Every structure is written in C-alpha cells, then in structure tokens.
Structure 1
Amino acid sequence: MDKTLEQRLYAADAALAVADEASALPEATGDARSFRDLILAKLTYAVGKDPIVARDHDWLRALSLALRDRIVDRWMATTRGVYRMGGKRVYYFSLEFLIGRLLKDGLNNMGLLGTAREALASVGVDLDVIAELEADAALGNGGLGRLAACFMESMATVGVPAYGYGIRYENGLFRQNIIDGWQTESPENWLAYGNPWEFPRREVAYEIGFGGAVEASEGWDGSAVHAWKPAETVLAVAHDTPVVGWRGLRVNTLRLWSARSPDPISLDAFNAGDHIGALTARTKAESISRVLYPADSTPAGQELRLRQEYFFTSASLQDLVRRHLKQHREIRTLAQKAAVQLNDTHPAIAVAELMRILIDIHAMSWADAFALTRDTISYTNHTLLPEALESWPVPLLERLLPRHMQIIYAINARVLTEARAAGATDAMIAAVSIIDEGHGRRVRMGNLAFVGSHKVNGVSALHSELMKETVFRDLNTVFPGRITNKTNGITPRRWLMTANPGLAGLLRETIGEGFLDDAEKLVALEPFARDPGFQERFAAVKHANKARLAKTIQQTLGLRVDPAALFDVQVKRMHEYKRQLLNILETIALYNAIRTHPEKDWVPRVKVFAGKAAASYTSAKYIIKLINDVAKMVNTDPAVRNLLKVAFLPNYNVSLAEVIIPAADLSEQISTAGMEASGTGNMKFALNGALTIGTLDGANVEMRDHVGADNIFIFGLTAAEVEARRAKGLNPRANIEADPALAEVLDAVGSGVFSPADPQRHRGTVDNLTNSDWFLVTDDFTSYSAMQRRIDALWGTPAAWREKAILNVARMGWFSSDRTIRDYSDEIWGLPTVKVG
C-alpha cells in the first residue's frame, strides 16, 4: 500500500476515535433523546427551520441527514478497512438501480427504526407520515433494477467490498398516469427537491469520448500503436450514495454518473445572437443522464441509448482502474483485485473498453489484454428473448466508437478461429460470431459479453439450462463450462422487515430473532403452520395489510374493496410474455360465470393489477386499456354483488410494491414457460404469505421444490412443451373452439362489449390471439381457469389456506439475496464472505 495513504488512514482512525469518545451514538445507546437532539440540530443548522414552524418535509430532511451522519461513520470505517486489507473488490455494472425510498430501509438496517419513531413522537411528528414524502428513486424498470438494489444491500451485509456503478438519471422511468383507461407518460423528476443521501464528487470526473478517428503509428518494437482522437467529449461526474448492510456493520458505495459538458456555453455563438444554439453542446451532453430508457424506436433514440451505455461503462472502468493503480500500482494484477459483474447486456461494451484501456493506454499486448479482460469480467444474462439481447448496427458503432469497433473485429477474429479449431460448422460459426451478418450487420452484445467473460450465469436453474440450449447453445459448445447458475434472491430486510413489520414482529415473537441474520432459519416456523392460535394471529396481520391496501385503492381509484375478499395480485412490468392478458381474460370468464350462475357460492375476489408498459409498446398499452375497460364495467355492475372487483393501480414503483405485496393472498406468476429468466416478485409475495399460481417458469421451479408441490398452484405447459407446441405449429383456433368459456370471452372483447364507444378497440388483440398467439394464452387458458377454481375451493377452508401460506413463509429463506451473493462470491468472484450478525 502507498505509505502516504497508509499514514492518512491511520490518522483518520485516530480522529474518528476521538470523535466517538466525544459523543454517544444513538445506535449504541438506543437513546431516543440523543437522537431527537441530533434531528433538532439538523433541522436548525442544515434545514434552517425552527421546530415551531417546521413542516413535514423539513422533518423528513432533518431525520434523513441525522441518519446519514450515523451511516457515514460506518461508511468511512468500511472504506478504511477495505484499503487496509488490500483485498479484492466487486464492481457491479448496471444500467438500473431501483433503490426506491431509503429512509426506513436505512433506519431498519442501522437498528434505529424504533429509536427514530420514539424521538419524532416526542416532538409531535409521525415517522410514517413523513416517510411517505420521500421521493421514490425510480432508477429502474422492474426486476433487473430491483435485483441490483438487493444485491448491493446483501453485498454490504455479507461483507463483500463493492461499488455499484450506474447513471444518475435526472428523470427516472416515466411517471405513469391512467387517463380514461389509457397509459400516459410524464417525467419522473425524483430529484426535484434534492437528494439527501448522495454526495457529489466533483473531483471524480472522467472524459468520455465519442466519434472522431483512430490514428495508427508504429511502436518501438514495430507493433501497431493506435490512438483514438474523439470528436466530442463529455464529462462523467460521480455522485456517491452509501449502501448500508444489515446491522450497519458495513457500508458499500453506489456511484452514479452524471453527464456534463466540458464547456457549458459557447460564448462565440451566444455573442453572435444564437442564444439557443450556444447551449447545443451542453444539452447534447446532459441528455445522456437526463432520462432512463429513452425510446429507441428512432435512430436518434438508438444513438442516445448507446451513448448512455458507453458513458457509464467507460467512466466506471476508468474509475476502478485508477483506484487499482493508486493502491496496487501494477495493472497486470487487476483480475486479482477487481471483479467486474455485468448486469445484463447494457454494459457489455465494457469488454471492448477495458481492452482499449489496457492496450492503448497501458501498452499491453493484445493477447495479455484479452486474457486479463476475460479474467476480470463476468456476465449475468437475464433473458432468453433474442430481441432482448441487445445488438447495435455496425455503422452506428463505427461512427460513435470507432476504436471499439476495431477491437470488436479483432476479438471476433480470435473467437471464430477458436471455434473453427474446435470443429465448428458454418452454421455454428455464424451463431457464435459477434457480428450478425444476417440482419443488416449488427454487433451482438450478448455474444461480446459471453466471449469477454470468464463466467456467464443465468438467474434460475431452468433459465441457466435453457441458455445452454437456446440463445447461447453454440457458444456453450465452443466454450464449455463457462455457463453457471446463480438463482436470484431478495433482501429480507426490505421485503419482510421494512415492508411487513407486522409479520416480522409476529415471527420474532414466535421463533426468536435468528431469522433476522439468517433467513433460512425461518424454517423454525414450520411447526406452527397448523397451530390454530398462530394461524389466527397470522391472519390478523394479513387482514391489517389488506385493509391498508384497500385504503390505497380507495384513495387512488375511488373504488371500495372488501379486505375479507381474496386479494388476487399481478404486479410487474407489462409485457405479452408475462401474460397479464391471460389474467384479465380469465377475469372476464369469471365475471360471465357469476352473472350466469348467481346461485353459486362464489368466492369474493379483488383482482389487483399494476405495471408500466414501455412508451413505445403498443400491444402492452392496449392490455392496460382492456384491464381498465373491464374494471369500469365489472365494478359498476350490480349483478356481480361486489363478488368481483378489478383495480389497476397506476405508477407502480417500489413504494407501491411495499403496500401491495404484504396484502396479497394470491400471487400471479403466469408467464409463458421458458420465457421468464427468474422473477423476484414471486419470492417477495411468498415470503409475505401469499400463495403462488404460476407456470413452471423461471424461479417458480425452485420455489415449488422448496415450498412443496402441495403449497403452490402450478398449471399450464412446461418449457419443453411450449417449444414442442411452437415447433409443431400453433393452433389457437382449435384451443378456442375446445373451450366455450374462452370463445365467449374473446367474442365479447372483440365485438366491443367492454368498449361500446369504440367497438373495434380490442379487435387487434383478439385477432392476434386467434391467428398467432405466440405466448400461448389460448393453450393455457383452460388449465389456468381450472386452477383458479381449485383456489376458490381452498379459500373456502381457511385453516388449510393459512397452513399453506405459513409454510411458504417458513420455506422461503433460501431465496435471500444473501445466499445468492455468497454463491457469486464463492464461484465467480473469488471473495470470502462473513457471517451475518
């Protein structure tokens, strides 16, 4: 270690030791009065408000800053310890970090939730009220971003030194509004009132180049030396957020990059009268970090998306290489001290960028640079959908990143040579090539990530096996053993302790506190599954959570729902393969049956939907409209007698999920088998006592194995059967003719029963199902409907339902992201972990 740095670290230790002696930390003393004094001090000196006139948002900021101080102490201690040990770090590259609100999560992990509640109550402030005012950092679209947030918290919890790298979007994923049943989008300006959790690092800024040309010259040994001369430069400026692990023992860093122009204004243009044109360069640069997932349906949108991906990847690699050289001096030891994990294909350009840094800046040979790159990088795949594996037009990459395109060609030449030597056929050569020659010459980013990584992992057992058979079949043949599995997990701190304090409290009273440190100790709950007294207490917690969601539904939609009804929930990103359409069609069939047979003893149901459709995803938007059209009719039909309600809650985000998930009785995980990589919503619902209806897709397979086949409702075709059905040729018309209820539903939807003002509105949706049905909605409808009736029967026996729900909670501990991170650490990153607690 640098001697000067070592001296500074020990000096910092001494200074903090003196500070610790001078003040009693509330997390150590549990003293609500001391913490109240800290909050009041922040309110006065940081917020500038007298307690007499302070508003709720003032108290929120004061509390956040008081908590932040306590976290920062641990953050600095963690950082010093990592430097002193000189060990390996993980660098997690993700275009999304769906972190949500941080206040309660931080209070919980620091052991200060009760202390803060008591401290605020002493000055007449309700913690729950002010916590609702915190902005929800919507820096993600769904499971990918929420997984990244869970992983960051778990890495801190189990002692893996880590940096998360992403983009500090000024506007997160759009705010979804529902107007007359249609989704509309507006900016999600989460930074409007500042962000108390982040620390701007103006001194940490890197130049990111675009365009220009590559100049070649001859090196001292006769080898070719390349120098990229970008035509345009953007600055990446760091903003750091501490990520606190359980019990506050370790704190890692989430570093997000903001784009800035080196020259904020062109004075020549401004003085010449072109006042708008003078800001062109600034606007172009700052657009990189302006919006999460700009629409890429136009060439300009595609270019901006690629700029975003290269921008944060290059800044992150420059940053970690600088840190490595500052501490370890020698670039050749990079793989021993740094593990770069690519979260999906978005940062796949890292393979070419790290090669550029090693070859062009640090003068490594091509072979050595490629070996070091591959030893450093690993890649997580999240999809089996070929269209979701990013690819970029070769002309776009040649224009925007000319040096990287040269490197990609060179990597591809090596890969194809290896493949041919391994006996690959022409068809295999075409499949493993990084350059797709069959669709207008495009760079396959999934292939680039695969060949540039030492390990490639799927996110569930089924997904990892299907990767070997589908999207990476030929690459797996050429590079056997590179694909491994790391089943996803969720953090129980956020998704049980914080989101469902009633259940967490009941569990602590019943089985002790061991599960707080090790979620697999939830298994101690199993003996209570049939205990009538515990079942009643468990049901009371669930009812309270349902009453809370019912209140949210009424406040948001003006719709009254009965907490005693079965809450049937599907909340996730809107996509045809996730089959919200199957759910709403079966809902219509149920609606028809209730009206046709009013004499039957129907189970009251509340069908809850939520999720955003991509701005340009027309089919998904029509599904949202159909759900709302059905809701409008069902919810006002007196013939239904309140036996069925349909609610689509707008603007689904982490905060809304924390209300919905603890309240769910039934979790809908009904994607077409073989198309969902893993899912993490399925885990969150089951951990909170919901039963799952689902296909054998993604992590549902492993959930069935853990919770028991009798405690999960599996229906429909398997992944192998889906593949066989597609290979044979789909026949949706035969499926429809074989099920009169389905035929009646499709006729009603297609003829405008639910859209009388526009009878043709949903004709396209019905025609798609009738003529193609790629996602096999009609194939699985009958099985799905029959399983729903079995669920009705079980709901009618409360003791049996509660037993299964309790067993789900007890057996979900394996799905903790702590376990997932330990698996990554053991088998991919080569890092030790520590026992929690």
Structure 2
Amino acid sequence: MLNKLKPVKNSIQFEFVLFLLIWTATSPPRGTTTSPWRTRCATTWSGGGSELSSSITRPTRRWPNRIPPHMHSLKHLQTALYFSLQRVYYLSLEFYMGRTLQNTMINLGLQNACDEAIYQLGLDMEDLEEMEEDAGLGNGGLGRLAACFLDSMATQGLAAYGYGIRYEYGIFNQKIKDGWQVEEADDWLRYGNPWEKARPEYMLPVHFYGRVEKTDEGSKWVDTQVVLAMPYDTPIPGYMNNTVNTMRLWSARAPNDFNLKDFNVGDYIQAVLDRNLAENISRVLYPNDNCFEGKELRLKQEYFVVAATLQDVIRRFKTSKKNSSNPLSFDSFPDKVAMQLNDTHPAMAIPELMRIFVDIEKLDWDMAWDLTKRTFAYTNHTVLPEALERWPVELMETLLPRHLEIIYQINQNHLDCIASLFPDDMDRIRHMSLIEEDGGKRVNMAHLCIVGSHAVNGVAEIHSNIIKTDIFRDFSELEPEKFQNKTNGITPRRWLLLCNPGLADLIAEAIGEDYVKDLSQLQKLNELVDGDTFIRDISKIKQDNKLKFAQYLEKEYKVKINPSSLFDVHVKRIHEYKRQLLNCLHVITLYNRIKKTPSAPFVPRTVIIGGKAAPGYHMAKMIIKLITSVGEVVNNDPVVGSKLKVLYLENYRVSLAEKVIPATDLSEQISTAGTEASGTGNMKFMLNGALTIGTMDGANVEMAEEAGEENLFIFGMRVEDVAQLDAEGYDAMKYYKALPELKQVIDQIKSGFFSPRQPDIFKDVMDMLFKHDRFKVFADFEDYVKCQERVSLLYQDQKEWTKMVIKNIAASGKFSSDRTIKDYATEIWGVEPTDLKIPPPSEPREALEETLRAMKKN
C-alpha cells in the first residue's frame, strides 16, 4: 500500500492515511466506548469569537464532526471567561512553519500511539511524514523565528494569534543546474492543506488607491479599489497543555462584481485581468522589488495584512464588550490588545490603526495616538542599512493617500517635540525624521515603528547595543527606556524532540523530562561531562545521526560520503555578510595542502554548504556557482579521495534542516562581527551537539558567555576591530600580498582553475573582494584557517571533543524560545505566562472553571 501511495503524493491520500492514523491511535480502551483523547479532540477549534479553544482541532475540516452535546456549553463558558484576558497579536510577513504532522503529534503526546497505529496499518511513519509539503512561507530566520514563537506562546498558555499572508507560492524551490541556482515555483498548495480551515464568514475588505475627501467631520478615504481578505486558520497546539492558539493567514480575493464598464463595452479580458491583479497580492512570497511593479505589489502585501488584521482585532475587541452595560470605549484597548511588529514589514499597522481611531471611530488625535503607541511594540532584526525599509513617498501617495497624510502628521508632531528639546540641532532633526529627503522623498519605516511603539527591542545583546549606540542612537537618547533586548530562541519541541529523538530520550533518561518546557535544566548535564558511559552514549547518537544523514544523501543526491569524517556544515541564506566565501576559500586551502603533501596526516572532512540566494541577488548566485565549481574539482580529484568532500545541499528548507542539524559536528557561524543581528541556526546546532566555529557576532557572543569561550572555536575581528579597520581604511591587497596561501587560492580562482571553460566567470567576485568588500573576508582569513586547524586537532581526540559537546548542550538552555516569549510577555506585552493545564472537555465543568479562575488571578 505504501509503495502505491508515496509516488503519487496526493493530498487526499495523505489526509486519508492521517485520518486512519489518528483514529487508530485514539481507539478507546477495551471495555469503553470513547477514547479520552478522541473526546478531547472532538471540541472544535474554530475562528471568529471563539478561536481559542481548550483542545486541539481534528486535523482536517473534511472529517466528520463528533462533538458531545455538553462540549458546546463548556466551550461557550471558556470563551466568555477568556475574553477577559489580554490577547497578543504577532504580525509577521513570514511564518516559515515547515511540516506540521510530527510536531503536532509531539505536542499532543501522541507520537508513540501514532507510530503503533501506522505500524498496524502496514505503513511506515517516516514515509507518511515525507509526504507532507513544507509550508515555506518565509525566506529564512525571520519566518522560522515567528514559527518558533507561535509554538512557545501556545506552550506558555498565552492567548496569542499569529497573523500573516497565505502565499499561494512560498519560498522558491532551488535547483542546482550546472552549478547555478535555478528557481522553481513552490506550489505548496497544489494538493491542498489539510491543517487549515477557510473562514469565509470573516472575509474583510481592504482598500487601495482612491483620494482623501475633507468634510466637516474630518478626512474620508473615498473612490478606493477593494480587495477582499479571506482568512485561513491553522491550529498551533502547545506542548502537553491542552492549549491551542490560532495562526490566521489572509488570502486575497477579488470582489464578486466585475468592472461593469469594461464588461459592458466587451472588454471581458480586461475585467478578468483586473480580478487576477487583485489576487496577485497573496500570490507569491516577496516579489522582486527591483522594478516599480514589484515595489508596488510588496507595499500592497504589507498593507493588506495589517488592514485585514486590525479589522479582525477590533471586531474581536468590540465583541468582548457586547455584554457590558457601559458604552463602547477604547480606553482599555491597549490593556486588552498587545501587537508585536516582527520587523518593519507590518509597520503600516501604525497609521492604519490611527486611521481607524480618528476617521472611523472618531477619537481625537491625541487620544488615538496614545492608544496606538501603547498597543504596538517593534522588533528590529537587522543592522544592515539596505535592509531597513524605505518606501517612496510618490508610491505611497498613490497607493495609500490617507495613510501618507497621517504619517506626515505623526512626523510633524515628532519633529516639533525634537525641536523643542534640541532647538539648535538640525542634524538630529534631519536624522530622526520619518521622511528622508536625500535622493528622493522616502518614508523610513524603522523610524515610523520606533516613534509609534512603546517598546523597541533587538534580538541579541550585541545587536541591541548596536541599535542603541549606532543605528538608532538619536532615538535611544530621546527615549532610553523604550529600548530593550530580547535574545532570540528556538523551540526545543521541533529542534530536539522532533529532529533528534535519540538525543532527547538520552537527556530525559539522565535528568528527567521536565527540561522540554524548562530548557535551563540542561545545566544538570554538566554533572555527567566526565562520565564515560554518557560520553559514549552521546558519541554513538551523533554517529548514528551522521550515518542516517549519509544514507539520505546517497538516496536523494546520489552522493556517497564518509560518515566517520568531520561534518563541517554551513547552511543559511546566501549573503555576502554571512561569508560563505570565507568558508569556500578555506576549502580551497585544504585542497591545496592535500595536493602539496598527499601523504601527510589529514582529518577527513565533509564540507556541507546550503542555502538559497535571493532571485535578484547577483553576487549571492555567483558565490553558489563558485562553491559548486570548487566542489566539482575537489570531489573528482583522485589524489584527494575521501579526505575532503564538498557538497552543496540543494533546496535547503526546514525539513532538510531537521535532517542535517543532528548530524553536524561543526557549525559555521562566521559573519563579520557586527552584521548578524542574532541568528537562530547557531542555537539549533548547539542544542543538537555540534561545536561552533564563529566570530563574536550575534548570539554567538551569548553562546560563548553561557558555555565559556574556551568551548567554542572563536576567531576573527571583534566589532571594535571592524570599526577601527573602517576608520583606517580596509585594504584587501595588503592581505593578498602578505598571506601566501590566500594568494594561491585567489590566483587559482582568477586563472580559471575551477572554471576552465570560462576562466573569467568569477571576475565579479574577485572585483568585489578587492575593491568593495564591506564584510572584509581577507581580514579574517588567516585567523579562520588557524582556528580550523584547532578544530581538526581536537576532533582527533573524540573523548575530549564529546566532552565539549556535552558542555555546549548543557549551556544551550538560555536559547529556548520559551524563555524569549516569557521575557516578551512580562516586559513588553504585560501578560503572565502560565503552566496551568486546561482540563480536557471530558472532565467536569468545575475543573475548567477552577483553572480559568486561576489563569485570571495570575
């Protein structure tokens, strides 16, 4: 049966097997008629006024609804009480969810039962899991962080929602053809999505274009074009606490009516095309914005999600006030609604909420602004100037004319305040303006977020210090209490229990299972660091994971690698600042050393690099081509043999990360100091027993603090060294002339050694390295190579290597997203996480009432 199912990869088949799986796993015990879990499952998770329910939905809407009559009253009671709790709304243009089945089984505590059920059906669980598509609604770390946060918010018992866009096509599928990246559409919905539920009853209008009409009652946005926002809800179960939150993604729909003017004159094609243009808003994740049409579509996406979300939030707020005898008031809005902006992409939520308060709800400006600022908080994710969004005023004036007026008013009030405090500091006023004048008028979205939020946070200590002392220094001096740090984290459910069950079980045997919800308990592993048995067990699990990954590579990529070699892994988005180039130069250096003295002892190494380059990012694509070209030469050189292999992982994604991370020995985190905000891949590798080679950048700094710098392979310039080099002037030629091995490597690339058919193909890469390398690859080359020598030396002593691995795992507790969310909740959102477990509907009504009273008291 399995062999027939797998090649077709049909959603109907997946859902059918999923249905059999859950039904078999939850069959009632002998002598009873109802399974406790099936009863718990029966309470529907739904949208609208009662989206948050105490238990998990049935996995697909096509299954029959089995709700015992008393469940409706319990659900109603729970919902009514729940309305008194503050709700958290996480706004993000990216949610990189990956696959859902296995994560859901783990969080519900059903994995063993489901494994047995699948076995009884004559199927294999891993094959069923491979049938599921990755939900790739993100480019990388930003979207994956949002997904981890949703998991932790549910596990922490917060009343939280994730809001984003249901892209029809997610992050592109990457193919490597002749060494080049080729993008193919990620049609992840082609077979449907059994985890989501469409909610047409909550479809909302979103307006674009038009003009602003001034009346005695104020401003009115009229003559607009309307696009409908259709919500799709996905359940987000917490870990073993009967709490399920909702991720609501919006899909663009054209209004039902045609443009009758076009239709009546016979232009049917134009009428249809207009509908398609409307629905293009949610068609693809991040269009190429190198052209005007791409910029316009991107801005449409950003406004689309916030406009629909805010209507939904305000509807829910008003619904919660229906039973009140007092007139509707928004005074308590910030006490009931906390909205987190995940980077600047949802920044238009600030002028949109002002428009709703002032133009629709008729609040005066000062009150509306006070409510708005108390509602929003902003997370900054980058220090790279080009990554901070700026929108042309001309584009915004056409697309969102009323919002531009509001932004102008916000800016005027903001600049008046600055001028009163610093009357003679015109540079400060210019730097802090929301409107940039240089090179054409543009709206600085980061400045808008800072001015319109009550809290601004970076995502690692070093990053938060940089934004306070450099990027947003003037704002920090004006309102120092507004700026905070919230170091990123990862969910241990997906990034340990799911992807590395062997290690998770071993840890549970050693220190108990409570660490899953309190990762700080991993510190107890330090007591076992010298235990021979534990060292052997850790080493065996790593070797088993490497063997499993090697078998996967042989099956999927037709590549054989030595599972006993050092797995040196560098997987992340391809970007100059992440310095995959530095890794590539080291690979060539190793190759040259082997060729020079083939008989010399050498620690076998498999270098695995993976990641996607943005479709319009020429240099990133050239870096991929260079890596694959080097790999082709190295892998086919008989002198090198199995001593060194270079593999480019095609189409790196969440489900592939779950395979490679547990098998990794060495994690490459080598960005130029001061350029990586935090990173979360570094945390995943650390938790799974990989040692880190890296710069003192992003969360690497805190990892070194937690584990001890001696337990990481740290190299290269610090932030202050980079600043000094910038001040003195970076001269790449100096390093080229001074370092013979670097010169040999560069000369090989320039001469076409790795590209004999096109000797000058890497001219652009060479020009960048010598003339305008902002990320100073050559400056860190020598120290990086020496640090890699220390790696190889330690790897030869497997006992000492494994001891260092255990110390790193023990130190990784800080980097749980549960800890991060607790910090957000208590220090920004003003809510308290709870470890109280909501009783399932099968338990008496009094149990639910008691639990909810306890939640309210907390």
Matches of 2:829 and 2:176, distance apart in 1: 44
Shift of 1:645: 0.5
Counterpart in the other structure of 2:18 = none
The residue matched to 1:780 in structure 2 has which SS?
helix
The residue matched to 1:315 in structure 2 has which SS?
helix
Counterpart in the other structure of 2:704 = 704
Cα–Cα, structure 1 residues 371 and 116, in superposed 2: closer, same or farther, change >3 Å?
same
Say if 2:324 is the partner of 1:331: no
Shift of 1:557: 2.8
Counterpart in the other structure of 1:284 = 277
Contact 1:689 1:808 in 2 (8 A): yes
The amino acid that maps onto 2:134 is D
Shift of 1:170: 0.5
Shift of 1:551: 2.0
Between the two proteins, the alignment pairs up a number of residues equal to 791
Say if 2:301 is the partner of 1:311: no
Structure 1 residues 197-251: Cα deviation after superposition (integer angstroms, max 9, x where no partner): 10100011111111110001123xxxxx000014311001111001001014211
Matches of 1:137 and 1:620, distance apart in 2: 24
Shift of 1:330: 2.3
Cα–Cα, structure 1 residues 116 and 226, in superposed 2: closer, same or farther, change >3 Å?
same
Cα–Cα, structure 1 residues 27 and 705, in superposed 2: closer, same or farther, change >3 Å?
farther
Counterpart in the other structure of 2:793 = 793
Shift of 1:558: 2.0
Contact 1:604 1:644 in 2 (8 A): yes
Q: Could you list the runs of 5+ residues in structure 2 that have no partner in the other structure?
A: 1-22, 43-56, 322-327, 838-858
Between 527-536 and 235-244, the greater mean CA deviation after superposition: 527-536
Structure 1 residues 772-829: Cα deviation after superposition (integer angstroms, max 9, x where no partner): 2210100001111100000000001000000001111111111110000000011000
Matches of 1:62 and 1:321, distance apart in 2: 28
Contact 2:210 2:221 in 1 (8 A): yes
The amino acid that maps onto 1:235 is L
Structure 1 residues 530-587: Cα deviation after superposition (integer angstroms, max 9, x where no partner): 2121111111111111112212222333221011100000110111000011111111
Shift of 1:178: 0.7
Say if 2:502 is the partner of 1:505: no
Contact 2:60 2:196 in 1 (8 A): no
Counterpart in the other structure of 1:161 = 159
Contact 1:109 1:245 in 2 (8 A): yes
Matches of 1:614 and 1:731, distance apart in 2: 28
Counterpart in the other structure of 2:81 = 84
Cα–Cα, structure 1 residues 648 and 820, in superposed 2: closer, same or farther, change >3 Å?
same
Matches of 1:75 and 1:651, distance apart in 2: 45
The residue matched to 2:803 in structure 1 has which SS?
helix
Matches of 2:220 and 2:145, distance apart in 1: 38
The residue matched to 1:195 in structure 2 has which SS?
coil
Matches of 1:630 and 1:66, distance apart in 2: 50
The residue matched to 1:493 in structure 2 has which SS?
helix
Shift of 1:459: 0.3
Between 469-478 and 646-655, the greater mean CA deviation after superposition: 469-478
The amino acid that maps onto 2:785 is S
Percent identity for Structure 1 against Structure 2? 47
Say if 2:222 is the partner of 1:233: no
Match of 2:177 among 167, 179, 194: 179
Shift of 1:381: 0.2
Matches of 1:415 and 1:391, distance apart in 2: 18
TM-score by length of 2: 0.89
TM-score by length of 1: 0.91
Shift of 1:263: 2.8
Shift of 1:523: 1.4
Shift of 1:665: 0.4
Q: How does 1:325-724 map to 2 (within 5 A)?
A: 325-328=318-321, 329-423=328-422, 425-724=425-724
Matches of 1:588 and 1:775, distance apart in 2: 20
Cα–Cα, structure 1 residues 446 and 736, in superposed 2: closer, same or farther, change >3 Å?
same
Cα–Cα, structure 1 residues 243 and 28, in superposed 2: closer, same or farther, change >3 Å?
farther
The residue matched to 1:536 in structure 2 has which SS?
helix
Match of 1:190 among 183, 188, 191: 188
Shift of 1:506: 1.3
Counterpart in the other structure of 1:110 = 108
Cα–Cα, structure 1 residues 497 and 760, in superposed 2: closer, same or farther, change >3 Å?
same
Counterpart in the other structure of 1:15 = none
The residue matched to 2:200 in structure 1 has which SS?
strand
Cα–Cα, structure 1 residues 74 and 30, in superposed 2: closer, same or farther, change >3 Å?
farther
Contact 1:422 1:478 in 2 (8 A): no
Say if 2:315 is the partner of 1:322: yes
Between 314-323 and 325-334, the greater mean CA deviation after superposition: 325-334
Shift of 1:278: 2.5
Shift of 1:527: 1.7
Shift of 1:602: 0.6
Matches of 2:389 and 2:601, distance apart in 1: 50
Matches of 2:364 and 2:278, distance apart in 1: 33
Shift of 1:27: 9.8
Shift of 1:81: 3.4
Matches of 2:298 and 2:549, distance apart in 1: 37
The amino acid that maps onto 2:307 is S
Matches of 1:401 and 1:461, distance apart in 2: 37
The residue matched to 2:412 in structure 1 has which SS?
helix
Structure 1 residues 420-446: Cα deviation after superposition (integer angstroms, max 9, x where no partner): 122161111111100001121100000
Shift of 1:347: 0.3
Matches of 2:62 and 2:526, distance apart in 1: 40
Match of 1:216 among 214, 217, 236: 214
Counterpart in the other structure of 2:138 = 140
Between 687-696 and 730-739, the greater mean CA deviation after superposition: 730-739
Structure 1 residues 490-534: Cα deviation after superposition (integer angstroms, max 9, x where no partner): 000000000111111111222221212311111111122221211
Counterpart in the other structure of 2:842 = none
Counterpart in the other structure of 1:770 = 770
Shift of 1:136: 0.3
Q: Could you list the runs of 5+ residues in structure 1 that have no partner in the other structure?
A: 1-22, 43-60, 220-224
Counterpart in the other structure of 1:93 = 91
Structure 1 residues 629-662: Cα deviation after superposition (integer angstroms, max 9, x where no partner): 0111111111102100011111111000000111
Structure 1 residues 424-479: Cα deviation after superposition (integer angstroms, max 9, x where no partner): 61111111100001121100000000000000000000000000122211111222
The amino acid that maps onto 1:258 is S
Matches of 2:117 and 2:393, distance apart in 1: 60
